[in-house]
Chains A and B, each alone.
Chain A
Amino acid sequence: MSEIQTGGGEQKKGKPKKMSLRVDFTPMVDMNMLLITFFMFCTSLAKPQTMDITMPVKDEKVTDAERNKVADNKAITIILGEENKVYYYFGKPNYKDYNSLKVANYGSSEDKNSLRSILLKRNKVSIANIRKLRDMRDRKQITLADYNEQVKKIRNDKEGQVVIIKPMDTSTYKNLVDALDEMQICSIGIYAIVGVEAPDKFLMDNLKKAGALTAASDFGKAKTK
């Protein structure tokens, strides 16, 4: 405003003093932009996500209840194998029949052969319950705290599915995280990461050789009580 007047050139000579009121902010803006750029490159806004896991205490053996569950056909054992393959069997393995071990992948639920669709099929009841709860939450029939509590209850239900994850030496860390992720997606509350044992290795070898090892091994006799 003042500078427009001074620009007129019709004012008296005493006026130009007013011009000093105007400060040029361009260098200031330059500097600020530089600082912003620096902050954008050198800092991170979002904190990284984490996935919390609890490992079993080492010397604690699997309890009888859990063992029974394996016998009850409740358990699913998944073996993380090489080249992003997953091998799985339900309940107790049948060492006589090499086809009891099946192969799956880490695909989405559209893929019929993916780990997710298999787990979803097995865990149908819980998932249906959780869906119902979510609907109720979305319609504001129950509070969020209630919802969380009930979901937790369903997930940790002792009657629910139990998954045993056995990563082979050939698998990668990504495979493990993916498998743990599937547990979360498929609402499986009870799962454990366990080491691979000789019977599991036998099952895998036998599957690869299409049953050629069945006759030669004594796993079928010794392990099934």
Chain B
Amino acid sequence: MSKVKSKKHSTFIDMTAMSDVTVLLLTFFMLTSTFIPKEPVKVVTPGSVSEIKIPDANIMTILINIDGKVFLNLDRKDDKLKVLTNIGKDYNINFTPEQKAAFIEQPNIGMPVGVLQRFLDLKLEDQDKELKNAGIPTDSTNNQFKHWVMLATKSNKDLSIAIKADEGTPYPKIRTVLNTLQDLKLNRYSLVTVLKPMPAGF
């Protein structure tokens, strides 16, 4: 009788230690990791041996996908608000407070200004769907990309520029973006890459 009972007890595993470990891991992950920003298009960055890390804050990421669609991402919310207000002024658009809130909520800028109001009235999920096929116009006759970048650099003087382009992007698309930035006298960029080990002996 007593033998059977003690066997029953042995099935009960003490989970306290396990819980300790998991809580520790959880704390570690929460403190060290950063959230992956949502990107409207998939971008595979090329590898490089460079080991410089991207700065922590004040970054403007220019996302270029394989078809040459351009998106902007500003990491500071008050910058975004300033930029939107200025865009509204320059294009004579009055954004409602709801649209402004929606603009801040949406991490990526990637719509032609003309349809921006209608776009911001949509739900966030619908916005993401539409964003995939959009992109900021970069052609020389209607260079809205230049306008956005100009306003962004004006609203935050410490802004550093990161270019995240797909490795298969044809060079002319990259050149358009680089030329635009050079026109604005912005000459320092960080190209986002994945780490590739340095070849042996160097």
Contacts and interface: CB of A to CB of B under 8 A. Distances in A.
A49 B189 contact: no
Contacts of B202: 185
B46 A50 contact: no
B92 interface: no
Interface of A: 3-4, 7-9, 24-26, 28-29, 32-33, 35-36, 39-40, 42-45, 47-58, 80, 108-109, 116, 167-178, 180-181, 184-185, 193, 195
A24 B15 contact: yes
Give the interface SS of chain B, mostly helix, strand, loop or mixed.
mixed
Contacts of B48: 49, 51, 177, 180-181, 184
B53 A58 contact: no
Interface stretch (B27-35, B110-118, B126-134, B142-150): B27-35
B168 A172 contact: yes
B52 A51 contact: yes
Contacts of A56: 187
Which of A3, A8, A54, A176 has the largest number of chain B CB atoms within 10 A? A176
Contacts, number: 175
B187 A173 contact: no
B33 A39 contact: yes
B187 A55 contact: yes
Contacts of A47: 34, 53-54
Nearest to B181: A55
24 contacts: A32-B26, A35-B26, A39-B30, A44-B36, A47-B54, A48-B45, A50-B50, A51-B50, A51-B190, A55-B182, A57-B185, A58-B185, A109-B201, A169-B171, A171-B170, A172-B168, A172-B169, A172-B170, A173-B169, A177-B46, A178-B46, A180-B191, A185-B199, A195-B175
A29 B34 CA distance: 23
Contacts of B187: 54-57
A35 to B, nearest CB: 5
A176 B191 CA distance: 11
Interface residues of B, number: 66
B199 A48 contact: no
A49 B194 contact: yes
Interface string B1-22: 1100110110010111011001
A47 B57 CA distance: 12
A174 B46 contact: yes
User: What 10 A-B pairs have minimum CB-CB distances, sorted nearest first?
Assistant: A25-B15, A32-B22, A43-B33, A50-B190, A174-B167, A39-B29, A51-B50, A173-B169, A177-B46, A25-B19
A197 B6 CA distance: 87
A180 B29 CA distance: 34
Nearest to A4: B9
Contacts of B8: 7
B35 A80 contact: no
Nearest to A185: B202
B26 A44 contact: no
Contacts of A178: 46
Contacts of B46: 173-174, 177-178
B167 A49 contact: no
B193 interface: yes
B42 to A, nearest CB: 15
Interface string B166-202: 1111111011001101110101111111111011011
Given A32-B26, A48-B45, A50-B192, A25 B166 contact: no
Contact of B9 (A7, A109, A177, A180): A7
B178 A55 contact: yes
